[in-house]
Amino acid sequence: MEQGASPRRKGPGVTQEEVGRLAGVSGKTVARVIANDPHVSEATREKVEAAIRQTGFRPNFAARSLAAAKSYLIAIFLPDHSSLYHADLFRSAAAACAAKGYHLLLEQYEADSSASALERYDISLRQTRCDGVILAPPLSNDRQLIDRLTADAMPHVLIAPADAEGRSPAVLADESAGVIALFDHLWSLGHRTFGLCTPPPGRPYLHRRNEIFLQCLAGQGAAASAVKLAPFRWEGSTMLSGRTAARFLLDGPDSPDAIFAFNDEYAHGVMIGAQERGLPVPDALSVAGFDDGAAAQFAWPPLTTIRQPLDLMAKKAVELITEGGESCLCAVELMVRQSTGRKAD
């Protein structure tokens, strides 16, 4: 016989107030228990916790967001071209979010359309008032989007931007160290002539990998003829483009001892191209990639590459948003597998 019952439909959930009533305290005290506020007596805490267990109470996310002006939501953009690099990143970011009571929002955009991510932000993401946005490559180099987020006072973190000059906090992998380690590895195996691949346009962070490799080569006093560069030609997929690059590099008398591809998918294509030419990897040719993404696992033989600690980087990115802090640099690791070997005599 409830009088004055609310005319509004009540959701299935229990409220703070109801839990409090059950425990003989106010709703506010329930909130304090949940927030782990130390200013609660042990006896009260136990009563409240029992009531929470009994009712299965979970605070209402929307109400909390509204009152606290905090969404507990972190967004990340997903390009429409599948990429295991991104899938790995999401997995780690989602885990890091969960550990901090946040949730990860996925926003899809068209990688081919330069305005798409910005548009998605304006139309869709902005109104969520999420607490931050994580930008993975290639978006972490999208000046327009970054400026927009900055103007909107929307916290954001850049994963592996090509240059960390900007004032946006960034999580970087020590790519230089990675390329150097890879070069040293190849050099120590006796290789003296190298093939490099031109990355797609608009990917400065990939170009940088090549530049560092060339600096290493120069550091050894190698002649310019020690390196052969394949032009970029898009064949419909990264792998097929790598295959074409390999054909270019392996044709002619100046075929190199080893090929360094700027990422794993490209390296995979390079290996296929080499094997089609009848060159077994690594016996006739060493091939190395970069990222240690899924392509490194799919490739055969297993690919020597540089492991980016994506799980750590995603975790760091989430932390930078939830707790603030400085940009940071994460160590990479050389993964020596079977695609590189000693130069045949």
Instruction: Give residues in contact with DNA (CB under 7 A).
Output: 6-11, 13, 15-17, 20, 25-29, 31-32, 34-35, 38-41, 43-44, 57, 59-60, 63-64, 66-70
For a second copy, the binding residue among 84, 162, 229, 330 (CB under 8 A) is 84
Q: Is 194 in contact with 217 (CB distance < 8 Å)?
A: yes
Q: Work out the angle at residue 36's Cα, subtended by the Cα atoms of residues 31 and 42, and round it to the nearest 5 degrees.
A: 95
Judge contact between 268 and 239, C-beta under 8 A. Answer: yes
CB–CB of 119/125 below 8 Å?
no
91: Cβ–Cβ under 8 A, 6 or more apart, which residues?
311, 314
Does 86 engage in binding with a second copy (CB under 8 A)? yes
- Per rule CB under 8 A, is residue 342 in the interface with a second copy? no
305 binds a second copy (CB under 8 A): no
Shortest distance in whole angstroms from residue 324 CB to DNA? 16
Interface pick for a second copy out of 1, 43, 62, 224 (rule CB under 8 A): 62
Asked if residue 324 binds a second copy (CB under 8 A), the reply is no
Which tokens belong to 304?
Answer: 């020597």
Interface segment toward a second copy; rule CB under 8 A; list 10-18, 138-146, 191-199, 255-263? 10-18
3-state SS of the chain: helix, strand, coil percent to 5? 45, 15, 40
**Beta strands 305-307 and 333-335, pairing class:** antiparallel
Residue 344 CA to residue 338 CA, distance in Å, equals: 15
Choice from 32, 47, 120, 316 touching a second copy (CB under 8 A): 120
Question: Residue 136 corresponds to which tokens in the numbers above?
Answer: 């993975």
Q: Which does 239 bind (CB under 5 to 8 A by kind): a second copy, DNA, none?
A: a second copy
**Closest by alpha carbon to 48, among 64, 65, 62, 35?**
35
Residue 300 engages a second copy in binding (rule: CB under 8 A):
yes
Q: Which residues contact a second copy (rule: CB under 8 A)? A: 9, 11-13, 58-63, 65-66, 69, 71, 78, 80, 82-84, 86-88, 90-91, 94-95, 98, 101, 103-108, 120, 123-124, 126-129, 152-153, 237, 239, 268, 272, 294-295, 297-300
